[in-house]
């Protein structure tokens, strides 16, 4: 498992670079706060990103991971991006943002030891993960849309039942 | 941030130059009197300005369990229901910065066992509390210590403060801890504003200026004591002259002393017109200085507008027939109302 | 050949990093981040100043011609009326202790959602007119002039604050952003800017007594349906007294509990409890709304809506008022009611529980008791029989609603009740509960569906804490004592911690309550089967 070892050796840099890349996608106002180097100021946003970063990398590297674990780790990250002010493409393009980082950091090493095929496989895994993220993104958006409908329905739930009964009563008479 | 630093440096430089071209009495005599008058008048004006507006509503922020049932323990200090409780709450607030002590920091714990990864936690963060407490207390002690320049004989309590302050017995003249800690605390407060991005974003010139100013006062003071040692007895004669309204000429005094004095005067004059009024302000704060007893004792609003609302008779007039049909009790039955 | 953009280019297509500081950045009115405007007719009906048609997303908000004078005068008037406002304008040192306390800041990361900057929006205007340095130095000391973009900005951020007061708890001077937000909203209303989701219920509450504008007879029928449902579950049909004179207690709860799922189940809990106690009480159709939508508008509107409570107690001759579970309602009752509309009618007495004889001295002046206080007292005196095992299928946590927590101190009473009706109770992490509780993200009139995305972000700190206990302790239920929570926490839970249900405290009481002569409970108040029911001995084979 030479390729896995190379990936593992680069985890720290790639994850850090990717987290940076994600932070860079936030509109100006947020970047400063998320990124602060001196004090490791975190906030839920930064934390969800880090949670996602580590797992995303492991999955790409080809670690033995169960899909539910991956999904769980990406869950809040994707959900967060789904309710932020982004276009869908912008929300999810961050997954692909790992590619240039991998190409810069990992690809040369892999080529040196003739593991190009393994590297390409890793990139394919990233593509699959992007598709997984797409599913999750859609699901999240659907949840929001559903929440809207449900909320309107719930606000008037009893009223609707009452109206229904009136109607039924009217028919019975 | 730099503009206000330059402003402070400029003030110091003007005082320095003024002292050396023979304007020492302007900076040493006229300015202190003006400053003290401005400080006191300004502060009184500010408090009267606040007091002129009423407190229409009692809006204490409750920081714990209310007083309700016998078997439920009330948080008597954080959620006071009596005046005595409020006094205790204010005491903790003013002397120990209770609210700041509560401070939490939202942060990411990298390896949380539950999440198997990072997790946001809100843990207690006491740095700000610690340094602001040090800052304010050291400032107070340094201030008290300075009374030896204004009083003859020096009261024993002030000598006692000095003895404690210099208890480490380092150096000659003896090193006063408060001065050192004050310097460190000011630097911490400044450092947060400069290096914490969040704070830098929200800080204004009004925030940097007093910090630079206090830094100027502290540094010039430390210089006077340890480096460019001033003739203490002469300073005392000069200051006693000031306090007894028979000023002596400051011409022969050290220029740094004039700088120190000038910066203090600027601080005094700046105080009532800036955020520094938080010191008296905290006593006025309606979220802290009122008891959470608003269901037990009525709080009166002096400008309470007259009651205007959709009254029951209007309501019944609007829905009488439907209400009668539904069998709801009415003040006036429909037939009566029709008459 | 046209080139397709790379993912990096897609991500990068966002506004460039602006050079200016916060005073110069304008909010962007993107869909999902602002509430719909109030209708002109609604505002006219309520005699609100300067009603007009406008659209938050439009460039021009059709402000009245002399808008600047109106706002300056209104601001001056507020300064004269509220010492808090003067003080909060003067004494902030911008220490930043409040910044990461705000759920809106944590969720949106927008720096102007830091309470300190939210207040600076107004403070910068104050500096120009009321401070010497501001007059002299202007922008250098953070002072600025009114312009139409400033109005937009004030509107935008005044409706991204839920007046939850979490920041005020941590502020070393007790600066209360809720106070500032409330006053900014008042200012906005002076020039005719309001939101639909607040003003429509205000209109309805004002004229019909409930937030949906349901007429009295229909309201009664709807409540009776809930009594029917009670019968289906327990075999007992509780009484539903309305507008009856001469009862000891007038009961007022938010009307959301009569209309909205899952609030209705809490309402059923009340009905069952009162029936079991044979409580001498009545509802009122006239004062049927406890939740005060006026408090999201202006102090005077809050007073206007609240006035009905005492008026109705006086008309019906009720000795004291019992109040249902509601957050903003209790902020108004605990801190404002007596001041607004007191002293209470002379025939009213200090509330005394007719069941236990406990005198609620803490409510001696307003004569209003919170149902959690009332029920906790009942349980303490062993006056009701409870079977908490009926709630064994849930592992519950408790969400402190902002207003009862930080404007009243109602923390342990609901917990006391909850622990007696549920065997499995788990607290959320320490700094997210009790007086430090995180808002549901949609309080103070922001629980409208058009800003669902914003709500999901603002509620994220609460969602996070919930998800944490869900994963760690298997929590599958969250109890609360607020009608807005009951409406807003379900979507929040669905999003951040799917699988957690939300209910009011008294729904669980209703489930656990063992009533005299009731049928064996096989389902809960939602008419869902109780999983732990043991099939009865074969008595049916007689």
Residue A162 to chain B, least CA–CA distance (Å) = 15
SS3 for B185? helix
Q: Between chains, do B307 and C303 touch, taking CB under 8 Å as contact? A: yes
Q: Quote the longest CA-to-CA distance of chain C.
A: 95
Predicted TM-score of the model (pTM): 0.88
C-beta separation of C237 from C228 below 8 A = yes
Res. C13 pLDDT band, cuts 50 70 90: very low
Written as six digits, the tokens of B54 are 């009423």
Q: How many structural domains comprise chain C?
A: 3
Q: How far is A8 from chain C (nearest CA, A)?
A: 25
Q: Is B240 an interface residue toward C (CB < 8 Å)?
A: no
Asked if C162 and C309 sit in the same domain, the reply is no
The answer for residues whose C-beta is within 8 angstroms of residue A34's C-beta and 6 or more apart is: A23, A26, A41, A43, A45, A46, A49, C109
Distances (CA, A) of A7 to B156, B176, C27: 72, 57, 43
- pLDDT, position A76: 86
Q: For tokens 């800690």, name the residue.
A: B181
Average pLDDT over residues B190-196: 86
- Do C317 and C403 belong together in one domain? no
Residue that the structure tokens 């379900």 belong to:
C490
ipTM here: 0.88
d(CA B59, CA B286): 6
- Residue indicated by tokens 């579950």: C233
Tell me: the pLDDT tens digits for C188-242? 999 999 999 999 999 988 888 888 888 898 999 999 999 999 999 999 999 999 9
- Does C3 reside within a domain? no
Segment C482-495 mean pLDDT? 92
Cβ contact B106–A36 (<8 Å): no
Quote the minimal CA–CA distance from C522 to chain B in Å.
33
Nearest to C261 among A90, A140, A157 (CB): A157
Same domain, C227 and C368: yes
Please indicate whether, in this complex, the C-beta atoms of B286 and C83 are within 8 angstroms of each other: yes
- The answer on C320 and C214 residing in a single domain is yes
Whether the predicted pLDDT of B149 surpasses 50? yes
Tell me the pLDDT band of B157, cut-offs 50, 70 and 90.
confident
* pLDDT band, residue C16 (cuts 50/70/90): very low
Q: Which residues have C-beta within 8 Å of that of residue C44, sequence separation ≥ 6?
A: C51
**Which residue has tokens 């005020």?**
C168
Question: What is the C-alpha separation between B148 and B171, in angstroms, rounded?
Answer: 21
Cα C382 to chain centroid distance, Å, stands at 31
Of B71, B198, B312, the CB nearest to C315: B312
CB atoms within 10 A of CB C75: 23
Q: Identify the residue among B117, B192, B326 best suited for mutation to test binding to A, counting A beta carbons within 10 A and taking the highest.
A: B117
The whole-angstrom distance between residue A8's C-alpha and the CA centroid of its chain comes to: 21
User: Integer distance in angstroms from the first to the last C-alpha of chain C?
Assistant: 88
Domains and their CATH numbers in chain B: 2-284 (1.20.950.20), 311-339 (no CATH)
Residue C301 near residue C229 (C-beta atoms within 8 A)? no
C57 and C87 share one domain:
yes
The answer, yes or no, to whether residue B211 has pLDDT greater than 60, is: yes
CB contact under 8 A, B107 and A50: no
pLDDT of residue B305: 93
Q: What is the pLDDT of residues C298-309, one digit of tens each?
A: 999 999 999 999
Per-residue pLDDT averaged across C499-506, rounded? 95
| Range(s) of the domain holding residue C418 | 388-512
Q: Examine the domain organization and report whether C26 and C142 are in the same domain.
A: yes
Task: Find out whether the peptide bond into C228 is cis, omega within 30 degrees of 0.
Answer: no
Q: How many residues does chain B have?
A: 339
Look at residue C251 in the predicted model and tell me its pLDDT: 96
Closest by Cβ to B106, choosing from A32, A43, A54: A43
- Exposed, middle or buried, C12 (CB in 10 Å: 0-12/13-18/19+)? middle
Q: Are residue C84 and residue C65 in the same domain, yes or no?
A: yes
Cβ–Cβ below 8 Å for C221 and B326: yes
What DSSP string runs through C41-55? HHHHHTT-SS-----
Last residue of a domain, one of C349, C380, C411: C380
- Distance linking the first and last C-alpha atoms of chain A: 79
| Interface mutation vs chain C, best among B68, B270, B313, most C CBs within 10 Å | B68
* Number of residues that make up chain C: 542
Q: Is residue C6 part of a domain?
A: no
pLDDT confidence tier of residue B109, bands split at 50, 70 and 90? low
Q: Is A3 on the interface with B (CB under 8 A)?
A: no
Res A37 pLDDT > 50: no
Tell me if C84 sits within 8 A of B281, measured CB to CB: no
CB A45 within 8 A of CB A137: no
Per-residue pLDDT of C95-133, as tens digits, reads: 888 888 888 888 877 888 889 999 999 999 999 999 888
What average pLDDT does this structure show over C255-271? Answer: 93
Percent of chain B surpassing pLDDT 70? 92
Asked if B106 lies within 8 A of A54 by C-beta distance, the reply is no
C232 assigned to some structural domain: yes
B338 touches chain C (CB under 8 A): no
B contact test, residue of A28, A36, A39, A63 with most B CBs within 10 A: A39
Q: What percent of chain A has pLDDT over 70?
A: 87
Specify if C537 maps to a domain: no
Strands C368-370 and C281-282 turn out to be unpaired
B19-25 long-range contacts, CB within 8 A, separation 24+ = B19/B250, B19/B253, B19/B255, B19/B258, B19/B259, B20/B255, B22/B251, B24/B249, B24/B250, B24/B251, B24/B253, B24/B258, B25/B247, B25/B249, B25/B250, B25/B251
Residue of A nearest to C465 (CA): A44
Q: Does residue A31 carry a pLDDT above 50? A: no
Cβ density class C476-506: b for 16+ within 10 Å, e for less: bbbbbbbbbbbbbbbbbbbbbbeebbbbbbb
Helix (H) or strand (E) holding C389, with range, is none
Q: Are C508 and C396 in contact (CB under 8 A)?
A: yes
Tell whether C449 is within 8 A of chain B (Cβ). Answer: no
Q: Residues 38..57 of A with a Cβ closer than 8 Å to B: which?
A: 38-44, 46-47, 50-51, 54-55
Please compute the mean of the pLDDT values over residues B20-45 and round it to a whole number: 89
pLDDT tens-digit map of A91-111? 888 898 888 899 988 898 888
Which residue among A76, A83, A99 sits closest to C453, beta carbon to beta carbon?
Answer: A83
Q: Does residue C478 sit within a domain?
A: yes
In DSSP terms, which residues pair with A41 in a beta bridge? B107
Closest CB from C179, C300, C464 relative to B305: C300
Of C14, C260, C496, the CB nearest to A155: C260
Q: Are residues C248 and C332 in the same domain?
A: yes
CATH of the domain at C119: 1.10.1060
C150 and C89, same domain (yes or no): yes
Q: What's the CA dihedral at B312, B314, B319, B323 to 10 degrees?
A: 30
φ, ψ for residue C399 (rounded to 5)?
-100, 115
CA angle in degrees (0–180, nearest 5) for C385-C386-C389? 150
CATH number reported for the structural domain that contains residue C229 in this entry: 1.20.1050
For chain A, the structural domain boundaries read: 2-139
CB C370 within 8 Å of CB C330: yes
| Residue C220 domain flag | yes
Residues of C in contact with A104 (CB under 8 A): none
Residue C504 and residue C465 in one domain = yes
CB within 8 Å: B106 and A50: no
What confidence tier does B236 reach under pLDDT thresholds 50, 70, 90?
confident
C542 lies in a domain? no
For residue C1, pLDDT over 50 is answered with: no
CA C152 – CA C146 distance, rounded (Å): 11
Positive or negative CA dihedral for C487, C492, C495, C500? negative
**Which of A39, A40, A42 lies nearest to residue B120, judging by beta carbons?**
A42
Q: Is residue B287 over pLDDT 90? A: yes
C495 & C394 share domain:
yes
Does the distance separating the beta carbons of A158 and C260 come in below 8 Å?
A: yes
At a CB cut-off of 8 Å and minimum separation 6, what does C498 contact? A143
Average pLDDT over residues C59-86: 94
Q: Tell me how far apart the 2 most distant CA atoms of chain B are, in Å.
A: 102
Of all helices (H) and strands (E), which one includes residue A45? helix A44-61
Q: Determine how many CB atoms are found less than 10 A away from the CB of residue C534.
A: 5
* Beta carbons within 10 angstroms of residue C275's beta carbon: 20
- CA–CA separation, B147 and B45 (whole Å): 26
* Neighbouring chains to B with at least 3 Cβ pairs closer than 8 Å: A, C
Q: What is the pLDDT of residue B65?
A: 93
């Amino acid at each position: 498992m030479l390729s896995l070892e190379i990936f593992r050796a680069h985890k720290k840099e790639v994850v850090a670079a990717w987290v940076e890349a994600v932070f860079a996608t936030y509109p100006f106002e947020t970047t400063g706060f998320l990124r602060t180097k001196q004090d490791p100021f975190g906030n839920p946003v930064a934390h969800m990103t880090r949670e996602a970063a580590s797992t995303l990398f492991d999955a790409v590297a080809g670690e033995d991971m169960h899909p539910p674990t991956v999904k769980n780790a990406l869950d809040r990250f994707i959900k967060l991006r789904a309710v932020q002010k982004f276009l869908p493409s912008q929300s999810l393009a961050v997954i692909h943002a790992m590619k240039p980082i991998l190409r810069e950091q990992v690809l040369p090493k892999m080529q040196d030891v003739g593991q190009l095929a393994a590297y390409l496989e890793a990139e394919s895994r990233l593509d699959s993960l992007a598709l997984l993220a797409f599913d999750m993104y859609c699901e999240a958006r659907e949840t929001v849309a559903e929440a809207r409908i449900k909320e309107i329905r719930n606000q008037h739930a009893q009223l609707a039942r009452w109206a229904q009964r009136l109607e039924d009563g009217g028919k019975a008479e | 941030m730099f503009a206000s630093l330059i402003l402070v440096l400029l003030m110091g430089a003007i005082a320095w130059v003024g002292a050396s071209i023979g304007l020492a009495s302007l900076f040493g005599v006229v300015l202190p009197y003006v400053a003290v008058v401005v400080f006191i008048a300004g502060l009184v004006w500010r408090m009267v300005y606040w007091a002129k507006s009423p407190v229409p509503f009692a809006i204490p922020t409750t920081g714990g369990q209310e007083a309700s049932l016998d078997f439920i323990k009330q948080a008597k200090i954080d959620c006071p229901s009596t005046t005595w409780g409020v006094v205790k709450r204010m005491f903790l607030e003013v002397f120990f910065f209770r609210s700041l002590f509560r401070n939490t920091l939202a942060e990411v714990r990298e390896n949380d066992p539950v999440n198997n990864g990072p997790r946001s936690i809100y843990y207690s963060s006491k740095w700000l509390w610690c340094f602001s407490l040090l800052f304010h207390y050291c400032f107070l002690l340094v201030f008290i210590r300075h009374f030896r320049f204004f009083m003859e004989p020096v009261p024993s309590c002030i000598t006692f403060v000095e003895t404690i302050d210099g208890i480490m017995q380092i150096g000659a003249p003896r090193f006063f801890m408060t001065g050192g800690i004050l310097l460190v605390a000011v630097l911490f407060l400044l450092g947060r504003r400069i290096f914490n991005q969040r704070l830098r974003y929200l800080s204004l010139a009004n925030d940097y200026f007093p910090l630079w100013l206090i830094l100027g006062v502290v540094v010039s003071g430390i210089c006077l004591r340890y480096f460019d040692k001033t003739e203490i007895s002469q300073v005392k004669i000069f200051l006693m002259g000031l306090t007894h309204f028979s000023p002596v000429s400051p011409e022969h005094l050290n220029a740094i002393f004039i700088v120190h004095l000038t910066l203090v005067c600027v601080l005094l004059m700046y105080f009532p017109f800036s955020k520094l009024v938080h010191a008296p302000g905290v006593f006025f704060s309606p979220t802290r200085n009122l008891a959470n007893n608003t269901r037990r004792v009525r709080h009166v609003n002096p400008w309470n507008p007259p009651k205007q609302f959709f009254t029951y008779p209007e309501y019944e007039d609007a829905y009488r027939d439907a209400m009668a049909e539904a069998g709801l009790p009415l003040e006036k039955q429909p037939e009566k109302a029709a008459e | 050949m046209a080139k397709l953009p790379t993912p990096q280019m897609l991500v990068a297509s966002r506004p460039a990093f602006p050079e200016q500081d916060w005073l110069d950045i304008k909010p962007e009115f993107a869909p999902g981040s602002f509430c719909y405007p109030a209708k002109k007719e609604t505002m006219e009906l309520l005699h609100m100043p300067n009603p007009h048609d406008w659209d938050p997303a439009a460039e021009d908000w059709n402000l009245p011609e002399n808008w600047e004078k109106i706002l300056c005068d209104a601001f001056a008037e507020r300064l004269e009326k509220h010492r808090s406002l003067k003080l909060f304008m003067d004494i902030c040192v911008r220490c930043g202790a409040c910044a990461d306390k705000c759920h809106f800041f944590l969720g949106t990361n927008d720096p102007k959602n830091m309470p300190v900057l939210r207040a600076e929006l107004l403070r910068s205007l104050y500096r120009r007119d009321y401070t010497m340095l501001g007059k002299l130095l202007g922008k250098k000391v953070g002072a600025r002039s009114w312009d139409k973009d400033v109005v937009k900005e004030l509107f935008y951020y005044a409706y991204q604050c839920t007046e939850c007061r979490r920041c005020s708890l941590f502020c070393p001077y007790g600066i209360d952003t809720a106070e500032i937000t409330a006053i900014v909203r008042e200012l906005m209303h002076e020039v005719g800017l309001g939101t639909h989701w607040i003003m429509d219920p205000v209109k309805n509450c004002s004229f019909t007594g409930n937030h949906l504008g349901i007429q009295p007879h229909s309201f009664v029928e709807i409540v009776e349906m809930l009594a029917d449902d009670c019968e289906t579950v327990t075999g007992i049909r509780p009484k539903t007294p309305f507008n009856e004179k001469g009862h000891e207690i007038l009961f007022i709860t938010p009307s959301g509990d009569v209309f909205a799922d899952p609030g209705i189940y809490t309402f059923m809990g009340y009905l069952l409890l009162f029936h079991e106690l044979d409580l001498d009480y009545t509802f009122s159709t006239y004062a049927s709304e406890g939740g005060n939508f006026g408090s999201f508008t202006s102090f005077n509107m809050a007073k206007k809506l609240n006035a009905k409570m005492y008026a109705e107690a006086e008309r019906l001759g009720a000795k004291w008022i019992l109040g249902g579970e509601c957050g903003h309602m209790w902020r108004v009752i605990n801190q404002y009611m007596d001041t607004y509309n007191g002293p209470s009618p002379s025939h009213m007495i200090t509330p005394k529980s007719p069941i236990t004889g406990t005198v609620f001295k803490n409510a001696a002046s307003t004569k209003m008791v919170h149902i959690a206080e009332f029920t906790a007292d009942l349980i303490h005196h062993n006056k009701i029989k409870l079977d908490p095992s009926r709630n064994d299928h849930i592992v519950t946590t408790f969400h402190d609603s902002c207003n009862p927590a930080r404007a009243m101190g109602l923390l342990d009473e609901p917990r006391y009740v909850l622990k007696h009706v549920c065997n499995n109770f788990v607290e959320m992490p320490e700094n997210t509960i009790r007086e430090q509780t995180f808002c549901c993200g949609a309080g103070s009139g922001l629980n409208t569906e058009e800003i669902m995305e914003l709500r999901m972000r603002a509620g994220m700190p609460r969602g996070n804490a919930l998800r944490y206990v869900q994963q760690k302790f298997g929590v599958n239920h969250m109890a609360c004592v607020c009608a807005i929570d009951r409406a807003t926490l379900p979507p929040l839970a669905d999003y951040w911690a799917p699988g957690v249900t939300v209910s009011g405290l008294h729904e669980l009481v209703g489930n656990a309550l063992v009533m005299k002569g009731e049928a064996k409970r096989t389902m809960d108040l939602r008419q869902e089967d109780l999983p732990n029911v043991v099939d009865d001995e074969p008595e049916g084979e007689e």
